[in-house]
Amino acid sequence: MDSSNDEALDIIVTNVVATFRTRCHLNLRTIALEGTNVIYKPEVGKVLMKLRKPKITASIWSSGKIICTGATSEDEAKLGARRLARCLQKLGFKVRFSAFKVVNVLAVCSMPFAIHLIDFTKNNRPIASYEPELHPAATYRIKHLKATIQVFSTGSLTVTGPNVQNVATAVEQAYPLLFECRKPLCK
């Protein structure tokens, strides 16, 4: 057994989606008028506000619900959410930062080998599904982690889950299954 082929796998978090509430009504026109880096979308009833640091985009609804996207870690998402809440406070709203929750984390990872998707799907049915006519990747859903892994034949993985820890666990769980399918089955 050759254990010296162990390699570190870099799981790169590319997007963290978080929500929070301001516990007060927000006047979108005021935000659009007095805020910079703001895009007002009256047709859908929301305002988009972009922060430079951290680089996040927030969708703001008049009910006080806000969704932040674009952060690359959970801490960054929280910091960005707090900065946004401070911005809204400075604009004159009685904001109370509450109900902050990370709802989705998107990460990518690359295996150092190609993966035979048909073998992978056959070995892991029905958790794995693969329809080449619809999408080039096989989908592997881990129910108890609420994580979904898209497996590409090039070895790239795209993982989505409710938090970073679940995403990491999902990759670790999937690795041995992917390793088994790194070559076509011998005839």
Q: Which residue, 53 or 144, is less far from another protein as judged by CB?
A: 53
Q: Nearer to another protein by C-beta: 44 or 134?
A: 134
Taking residue 35's Cβ as centre, other Cβ atoms within 10 Å add up to 16
CA neighbor of 15 nearest in space, from 78, 83, 107:
107
Structure tokens at 133: 């006519």
Element (H, E) at 138: strand 138-142
Q: How many CB atoms lie within 10 A of CB 98?
A: 11
Q: Which amino acid is at 17?
A: V
Q: How far is the CB of 131 from another protein (least distance, A)?
A: 6
Least separation in angstroms between residue 45's CB and another protein is 18
Q: Which CB atom, from 45 or from 172, has the smaller least distance to another protein? A: 172
Q: Which amino acid type is present at position 105?
A: V
CB of 14 to another protein, least distance (A): 9
Whose Cβ is closer to another protein: residue 8's or residue 44's? Answer: 8
Cα–Cα distance for residue pair 108/157, rounded to 1 Å: 6
**Shortest distance, CB of residue 86 to another protein, whole angstroms?**
5
